[in-house]
Amino acid sequence: MNAKKVMMVILLSLLLFGCGAAARQSEFNQHNSMYQSWDHLKYSWWGYKHTTVEDAKKSQDQGWWGKEQVIVAPGQ
């Protein structure tokens, strides 16, 4: 094998291992759908940069999953 092929195999292996680790951390395989509800989808696509207390309440009420965010109320 020449050096280019070896380098491509190494890079592809690293990519696959990285994707596997990210999938494990996200708990993606533990759920039967990507998003719990349409509200969850909208938040995940557009609202995650500006999380509100209302978003947190929806998350708890509807049982969303994913990485947790800490919300700091204005003035605190």
The predicted model scores a pTM of 0.43
More confident residue, 13 or 1: 13
Report the distance separating Cα 31 and Cα 72, nearest Å. 29
Mean pLDDT of 12-41: 72
Q: How confident is the model at residue 1 (pLDDT cuts 50, 70, 90)?
A: low
Model pLDDT, residue 8: 92
Mean pLDDT of 31-54: 75
**Is the predicted pLDDT of residue 12 greater than 70, yes or no?**
yes
Query: How many alpha carbons lie under 13 Å from residue 69 in its C-beta half-sphere?
Result: 18
